[in-house]
Structure 1
Amino acid sequence: MASIEEILAVERIDNDIYRGGSFPSQLRRTFGGQVAGQALVSATRTVDREYAVHSLHGYFLRPGKPDKPAVFMVDRIRDGRSFVTRRVTGVQDGEAIFSMSASFHITDDHGPDHQDAMPKVPDPDSLPDRRDTATESQKMLLAEWANFDIRIVDQSETARMPGLAAQQRVWFKYKNSLPDDHLLHVCTLAYMSDMTLLGSSMTVHPDARTQNASLDHAMWFLRPFRTDDWLLYDQTSPSAGGGRALTQGRIFDRSGRLVAAVTQEGLTRSVDSDSAASIMRQAQ
């Protein structure tokens, strides 16, 4: 398993053009968090360090090929005094696989400040390692994330919020220590934010067999954080239908600070048993 520093180390090949590395994978398509993370790093390479990324909005247009690098082309949409905007297109074999807009801001400490409270959950150290309880198909995906510690709160221990259709809570962190570079932690969280989120839509359909893929992904970075410390991913799925599911996530640090928010829509197309087995064979 490549380190997150290796995954995010995009190579400059020309002005505003970057290339992300390809890494051994058991998946039949490139993990969406990898594409989003590499695209965000490419955008940050064209922005002065005084500007911090505060949001991204991305669309997964085609499945990426894990055995091939992707090229990221950055368009400098706007350079303002307080805000900078970049558009990034990820390309493989001459076709766009990902499109993202990212906005950067010089943080202003003046203004109102409030946040939601972190829900009450078991301590992450009291929860079993996900790899000890995963199914064979889940173990395949977790093998892709061997450098991450992922602890899913059991549904029986999830405090139910009235009126919410589907809920899931996940503790996660990067296992190894990372440098004190906030930009690295931001791009790492962009990678991590695609983990487990679509799965929240299936917590109320445990026996459903579906073909799943991220379709679009939006993220807001609210406060400083570290991805090598525990983060709580409080996930909900307010709606599913028409072969798609909408999911949302709030990310808290261990002290209860709300550090990021995520919204994603994903494909959740029903498949029969034979189709599900075929999809698994292709993935392997």
Structure 2
Amino acid sequence: MTNPAEKLVDLLDLEQIEVNIFRGRSPQESLQRVFGGQVAGQALVAAGRTTEGDRPVHSLHAYFLRPGRPGVPIVYQVERVRDGRSFTTRRVVAVQQGRTIFNLTASFHKPEPGFDHQLPMRRAVPGPEDLPTVVDEVREHLGGLPEALERMARRQPFDIRYVDRLRWTPDEVEGAEPRSAVWMRAVGPLGDDPLVHTCALTYASDMTLLDAVRIPIEPLWGPRGFDMASLDHAMWFHRPFRADEWFLYDQESPIATGGRGLAQGRIYDREGRLLVSVVQEGLLRPYGPRHMDGTNGDATPGVTT
């Protein structure tokens, strides 16, 4: 498989090794830690594989407890908490080398009729066709891509296009509001299984969300002055969607203090319908002496975004 979207589908196709136990691959990457979206997406696959197919997930709440190690399989243990008439609840613990690195609780709801309302999008934005890919924007600014970035770009399963021009210098960052928006879609078809699309979007939801926290602090591209780690992650799924069609990820950070930053995201389709709501808190610390587990000081949480 050469298409990164196909590789993502394969990454989300867990091996069932017992009734409620699944094993996921963790590719050998140059990254210091396993990408948090990968663990969240795989955990949601494990939960979904133990539910009835007519009950899509409507919410998840997760904590990143330890950094995962690339190249080492991750085992997902599912607890069947409740199977009700309308709702199903699952709890998933991710274990790597005998240590819990992540846990997730997901709730599934059998669709039913109800009333509708939503707040409009906070601003009008250009369409994705009118924006450069993030790879093209970086390549234009740098006059080319370093080899490491070129390899990373070829493996990227999502096309990402920033609505606002990237800031490259500290002077451009000064006074910037803690807001960001990107268009995203998988770089190839993901098939027709709704669970795959939900888990692929869960993967993508961790890719840019903490940008909103970083924007007032430093340029998003270039040398980083802060170590970043996702602490927790919550999502609410409002409407059906396809992750291989364009969606707008509108992000903002209402507060950052005490080494932690809170980010909120709203995911819309091209018609402006709200599909998914996301909230995440991240740890941001100035770089300092590093521990073997990839954290600073006495920190033990997290998977970097």
TM-score (norm: length of structure 2):
0.82
Q: CA–CA distance in 2 between the matches of 1:262 and 1:24?
A: 28
Specify the alignment match of 1:81 in structure 2.
Answer: 85
CA contact (8 A) 2:80 2:90 kept: yes
CA contact (8 A) 1:25 1:144 kept: no
Specify the alignment match of 1:31 in structure 2.
Answer: 35
| Equivalent in 105, 110, 113 of residue 106 of structure 1 | 110
Give 1:271 shift.
2.5
CA contact (8 A) 1:232 1:251 kept: yes
1:61 partnered with 2:65: yes
CA shift digits 1:199-225 (9 cap, x unpaired): 111111126711001110000100011
CA contact (8 A) 1:91 1:97 kept: yes
Residue 173 of structure 1 aligns to a residue whose secondary structure is strand
Q: Decide whether aligned partners of structure 1 residues 173 and 25 sit closer, same or farther in structure 2, where only a CA change above 3 A counts.
A: same
Specify the alignment match of 1:197 in structure 2.
Answer: 209
Equivalences for 1:1-284 in 2 at 5 Å? 1=4, 3-109=7-113, 111-118=114-121, 119-134=123-138, 139=149, 142-143=152-153, 146-154=156-164, 166-206=178-218, 209-271=225-287
Q: CA–CA distance in 2 between the matches of 1:204 and 1:189?
A: 26
Q: CA–CA distance in 1 between the matches of 2:209 and 2:89?
A: 26
Give 1:165 shift.
5.1
CA contact (8 A) 1:26 1:144 kept: no
Residue 212 of structure 1 aligns to a residue whose secondary structure is strand
Q: Decide whether aligned partners of structure 1 residues 98 and 263 sit closer, same or farther in structure 2, where only a CA change above 3 A counts.
A: same
Q: Decide whether aligned partners of structure 1 residues 112 and 151 sit closer, same or farther in structure 2, where only a CA change above 3 A counts.
A: same
Give 1:154 shift.
1.6
Q: Compare relative contact order (CA 8 Å, sep 6+) and give the higher one, 1 or 2.
A: 2
Q: CA–CA distance in 2 between the matches of 1:198 and 1:58?
A: 16
Identity fraction in percent:
50
CA contact (8 A) 1:155 1:168 kept: no
Q: CA–CA distance in 1 between the matches of 2:70 and 2:268?
A: 31
Paired residue type of 1:143: A
Residue 41 of structure 2 aligns to a residue whose secondary structure is helix
Cα RMSD after superposing both structures:
2.4
Paired residue type of 2:279: T
Q: Decide whether aligned partners of structure 1 residues 261 and 145 sit closer, same or farther in structure 2, where only a CA change above 3 A counts.
A: farther
Q: CA–CA distance in 2 between the matches of 1:32 and 1:230?
A: 22
Paired residue type of 1:247: A
TM-score (norm: length of structure 1):
0.88
Higher mean C-alpha displacement, 214-223 vs 202-211: 202-211
Higher mean C-alpha displacement, 133-142 vs 79-88: 133-142
Q: CA–CA distance in 2 between the matches of 1:142 and 1:120?
A: 31
Give 1:122 shift.
1.2
For structure 1, which runs of at least 5 residues remain unmatched after alignment? Answer: 157-163
CA shift digits 1:140-179 (9 cap, x unpaired): 79538522100012259xxxxxxx9511001110010121
Q: Decide whether aligned partners of structure 1 residues 57 and 145 sit closer, same or farther in structure 2, where only a CA change above 3 A counts.
A: farther
Residue 191 of structure 1 aligns to a residue whose secondary structure is helix
Paired residue type of 1:115: Q
Q: CA–CA distance in 2 between the matches of 1:138 and 1:265?
A: 28
Residue 3 of structure 1 aligns to a residue whose secondary structure is helix
Give 1:256 shift.
1.1
Paired residue type of 2:238: L
Q: Decide whether aligned partners of structure 1 residues 142 and 267 sit closer, same or farther in structure 2, where only a CA change above 3 A counts.
A: farther
CA contact (8 A) 1:152 1:169 kept: yes
Give 1:24 shift.
3.0
